Each structure stands twice: as C-alpha cells, then as structure tokens.
Chain A
Amino acid sequence: MGGGETLLCVDNLTVTLATREGTIEPVKEVSFSVGRGEAVGLVGESGSGKTLMGLSLLGLFPPGAKPPKGRILFEGSDLLSLSPSRLREIRGQKISMVFQEPQSALNPVLTVATQMEEIYKSHTALPSSEIRGRILERLREAGLPDPLTVSRSYPHQLSGGMRQRVMIAMALALDPLLVIADEPTTALDPTVALQILALLSRIRKSSGQSLLFISHDLSHVRRVSDRVLLMYAGRIVEESRSPIFFSTGPRHPYGRALLASRPEGATLTRKDGPLAAIGGQVPPLWDLPEGCSFAPRCERADDLCRSVLPPWKSEGEGRVFCHHPVDTPLGAPVHAA
C-alpha cells in the first residue's frame, strides 16, 4: 500500500437486499483498505456490486437493504455505527463522490455558483466573500479556464466534460480526504475522458487526497490507480498492485479473461482470429452457483471449484480468491537463450 497510513478499511462487509427474486447479497464479505493519498481502482462489470460498494462507503443503502454486516472504518471510526447526523457530516466534508452522469447529480435550475455556495454554507461558517473566492479557485483547479463564466452558468449550458469538471470541483470543495468516483468517465467522449483522468490524478497528487475509482474500463483504471480490486458477483476476487495486474497480468481467471476480451493496445486484427470472449454471462445474484461464482464460465473449473468456495491466496502485496490461480505471466515469456 505504498507504506501510507490507512484511511479507510472495509472489514468483511456484506450488504443484503430483499428483492422480488429473493434475498441477494450484492456486496459479499468484502474487505479492503485505502491508504492516505492512495488511488485504488475498483473494477467490475454491471451487476458486480461495485456501485453499491461505493454507495455503502457513504452510508447509502438501497431500499430493501437489511442492516449491513461488517465494519467500514474511516479514520478509525466505524461509519456503520455512527449517528445519522455525524455520518452526514463526514459525507459532506471528508468523503465526497463524483458520479457518472453529472447531469443528474447537478441541480438543473441553480447556477453552478449557487450550488457550490450551498455546500460551503451548510458545512462551514465562511463569509460570502470568502466563499466566492473559493468557488472560483476550485473551478480553476478543475481545469475550467473561465471560472467566472462557468460559475454563472446553469448545468445545461455546459458541455459534458465541463459538467464533469464542475462535479469534481464540487466534490473537492471542502478538501475531502477521500473522493469516490463512480464511472466518472463512462459518459464522456474518449479524448475528454482522458482529460478528466488526468485531472483526477493531478489533483490527487497535489492535494494528497485518496481516490476510490470505480469503473468497468480497464484502460482507465490502469491510468489512475496504484492498486486494483476486481469484483465479480458481489465479491472481491483479486487485489493487486496496478503495474503487476496490468503487466504480469491478473491471477484470477476472470481478470485474465476480461483483459483478453479487449483488443486493447494490441495490434491484433480480426484476421488473427476471434477475441478471447468470456462465454456465458454474469450469474444472477439470486441464483449463484455452488462453490466459485465464476465456475460456469471458467476454463480452469473443476469439481472442487463447483462445490467448494475458493480460499484466499496471498502473494506479495496481492491476493486472489481462486482454487487454481493463473501462474504464467501475461503474454508468452520469451527468454533469449
């Protein structure tokens, strides 16, 4: 974890929901930590539980949720046992969130300045003149070249990329310790997405915030994260340092398969043969198979996998939740002589 002090520690968190199809556990026995100043990428496809995981950190649970099991330690105190008012305070000041679609997270009838003012007024006792200065400063930090014009604009007057920058400025308004960004680049054009990634990295490096970057886009996770958590069907199935995950390769067969299913960076063409697509689909959470949830789609699955829950295996700074993790590094290891 880069030797940093732990800011957030999620300890064996399970979220249980009652749905029409039955009781499901979209977050199941999840443990991980985020160090101060660290950027952690949480990767998963839809239905993996990654979004709910992020919301849990804000103490937000969907309707139908039973009281969660486990602990979420933030600066040492358990968010799950805090009073609602104390939780709200932390949520506003110390942990903030950037959403996928700033359009829906921003209030359409208020100007950017008004919305940002509300944040300061409800959490600080700063005088108005001071607040105005901070708003412009935050907007400028978020890479908006003309903060004054932007602050007087309504969300619909801004482009998608600019709205996301405003969202980031708002998330950073009170200098939080942890920023949770849930698919912040998914709704953006590729070149704009890259700018937003660069912005998140830059701000984190200059102000020492921690970042939990939730995304399905492996190439984006690779760009911003120090560490990667891979989720499948509600569980974390692998944890690894980013450079290892992306160069040596994931050790979990699902991670391997995900990486191989994209023609990322490779000069592979359709003439070279089909992509290594993962067969089948993510199982519904109310109908998970015995043993390893990935077994029905896994090339390495055997009877053990289909009947017994895999153990956690650690290696160096990483760990993998699998009976038969992949040992060979990505790509053919070529040794001259």
Chain B
Amino acid sequence: MRPDTSSPLLLAEGLVRDFELPGGALFSRKKILRAVSEVSFSIGRREVLGLVGESGSGKTTIGRLVMRLLPPTRGRILFDGIDLTALSGGALRSHRRRFQMVFQDPYASLNPRMRVREIVEEPLAVHGIEHGKAARRERVAHLLERVGLSARDMERLPREFSGGGRQRIGIARAIACGPELLVADEPIASLDLSMGAQIINLFSSLVETEGMSLLFISHDIPVVRYLSDRVAVLYRGSVVESGPTEKVFSSPRHPYTRLLTEGAFSSEPATPQGELRSPDSSAPTVSAGSLSAREVGLCAFLPRCGEARPECRILPPPLYSDGEGGEALCHLLQGEIAWLPLHPSNQGRPSDVPIASSR
C-alpha cells in the first residue's frame, strides 16, 4: 500500500486541556489549571516530530491526548483523516493498533509478573492478530529480534533485564501490531548514556526502515536535534516556536528557544551572567499571590525574558510565520522581513487565555 503522503498522518488542532486543581478550601470555587493551551501540530508519514519542553510545559499531557488516554477539553486530533476525539468505545479500539505509546519508565509500564512473551503477545491477542499459538510465538520471536533482544528472552521476566532491555521490551510491545505512529515520552531519560544511544538508534531504524512516524517527547535537546525532522518547543502549555529542526536550533527566534539551545549547544563554562539572565522557571508558590503574566493572557515567558518589549506587557504575543514552516509566538518578530502574523483576528482573546482563573 502506497502511503498517502499528501495529508499528514496526525493533525492536532487547537488542543486545550484543563485540569481541576485539587485542594482549595471547602466551598471555594475550583481552580483550573490550563496544562495545554491552543496547541496545534502535524506529523507526516515517516516523519519525526520532536516535542521539546521542560517540566510543566504540558508535553506529557499532549502525548496522552494524542494517545487518547485523556480527552481534550477542546480541539481535534485527526489521525489519517479520522477525528479521534469523536470516537469512543469499539470504534476507537479498532484504530488503537495504529498508534502506540512508549513510556519513560520501563519499570513502571511493564507488568512485573508477566513473561516477556506474554507482554509482547498481549496486544496481538487484543487486536486479534496472528491466531494460533505457533504463529504468535513466531511473531513475538521476530519482534524481539527486531528490537535487539532474542527469542531466548521470551520466558524471562522484566526484572531480569537492565533498564535498556526493559525499554526494548516496551518497544517490542508497542510495535507488535505494526502501528503507523509511535508516541515516545522521554523514552531514554531514565537510561544510562550507552543504553540511550542504542534506543535512539532503534527508533531511528523504525522510522527509516519500517516507515513509522514518531512523536518524540523530550527535554534532551541534542537527542531531539539528532532524531527529529521538525520540532515544536513548548513553554507552559503553548508551542512558542516550531519548524524544521535545523532552522529552529541553528537560528532560534523565540527567546526561550534561544535559552534552551544556548545551554545545549554551547560548551562554554557556565557564567554568572547566564545565571542572572534566566531566573528560575518555576516561581515559588509562596509568593504566588498575584496573577502571573500567563494568567492575564500575556506571554508566559515574560517573567524570564531578557528581551521583552513594552508591548509584551500589554498584548498577548501574536503567532508569526516565515512562510516556510517556521512559526514563533513572540512580539520580537514584529517588523521582521519574511515573518508575518498568522490569523491576526484570532489573537488577543483574553477570555481564552486565563490559566489558573477561578470558575
């Protein structure tokens, strides 16, 4: 089957996800946290999209939304043209085999009492692939070899493997039904350096030889740069910059992307200036009495931004595009040749932006 390359495999449009914050005094109105705010992106076939962000960026939530492990508060997820957000129950299940997830912590995501064979076989059984014991066994053996394990590992338990070995088991399970899209959330963050490289190579070969698409969620910039065709940089729930990987990392336009790449790609000894330029990302909860910039609709990066302009304190940042796949959410691009604001009519909807407002 020739893949239809004209339309993206996955299209996320205006994803929003709110969470009710626990706690709060009795009878007080509920606090809402907007973890993901108007996030849109697409992933083509055989393409790797790197989703970069630090803690609190919403990157894990986005992975879970795409996997339909969580429903979005608003927005659509089109998979191969089908609106996943409109599906549920059996209809959703029949599509599930086409997109699978690889988790960060292979310890937590594998059932410790199940043998490797059972772990990898389970999705085959659920989706009714390869009836018959012998055929399934053969398929499992093949899958284990594909991820760098061996058929001899079938009857072993997860705890008999190193972190890297467990991650391979998780990947074998994820690719068991031949998915078209893999969503990997920090898959190498808990692995040793030498293991990490092996797993990255495995993902790379799944894309190159198997033609899978990959949503690679990570805070590890050098690895994202190596693996991804395009990247989206997240800050506090919004995509602040996106585009072809090389463009974003070699000439970042958003101050936050610059901060991230400066750290990742310069080997300069850390300087006190660097420290002063970038105050801590997360404000202390002890002084969270007043509304943050993000809560009133301004750029969420404002408190840390060393390049803020007067308009940053008054207006939400518009989304600019360079017409060649590059987009950035920042006032600095105003007046830059080649960068034009996108949907100006959509900008500055204060009612849309509040984050931790009361309902």
Contact = CB atoms under 8 A, between A and B. Distances in A.
B284 A45 contact: no
Interface string A255-271: 00110011111111110
Contact of B222 (A159, A197, A263, A279): A263
Interface residues on A, range: 35 or more
B271 interface: yes
A276 B198 CA distance: 8
A263 B218 CA distance: 14
Nearest to A223: B270
Interface in A142-190: 143, 145-146, 149-150, 152-153, 157-162, 189-190
B54 interface: yes
Describe B's contact surface by its main secondary structure: helix
A157 B284 contact: yes
A258 B272 CA distance: 29
Given A162-B280, A189-B55, A270 B259 contact: no
A269 B48 CA distance: 11
B63 to A, nearest CB: 17
A275 B204 CA distance: 10
B164 interface: yes
A222 interface: yes
B222 A224 contact: no
B263 interface: yes
B348 interface: no
B287 A161 contact: no
B225 interface: yes
B282 A263 contact: no
A253 B302 CA distance: 46
Contact of A143 (B195, B196, B275): B275
Contacts of A197: 270
A258 B195 contact: no
Contact of B269 (A192, A193, A223): A223
Interface stretch (A13-21, A73-81, A198-206): A198-206
A46 interface: yes
Nearest to A277: B197
A195 interface: yes
B270 A224 contact: yes
Interface centre among A194, A216, A266, A268 (most CB of B within 10 A): A194
Given A159-B282, A161-B280, A275-B200, A45 B267 contact: no
Given A194-B263, A198-B274, A281-B162, A261 B193 contact: yes
Given A198-B272, A274-B201, A263 B225 contact: yes
Contacts of A218: 193
12 contacts: A146-B284, A149-B287, A157-B285, A189-B219, A192-B280, A202-B275, A216-B192, A264-B222, A269-B227, A274-B205, A275-B226, A277-B197
The 10 closest A-B pairs by CB, nearest first: A159-B282, A277-B197, A198-B270, A189-B54, A263-B226, A261-B197, A198-B275, A278-B194, A274-B201, A270-B204
Interface of A: 45-46, 143, 145-146, 149-150, 152-153, 157-162, 189-195, 197-202, 216, 218-219, 222-224, 246, 257-258, 261-270, 274-279, 281-282
Given A146-B287, A192-B281, A275-B226, 16 more contacts: A149-B286, A159-B280, A159-B285, A161-B281, A190-B260, A192-B280, A194-B270, A195-B275, A216-B193, A261-B197, A263-B225, A266-B226, A274-B204, A277-B197, A278-B197, A281-B162
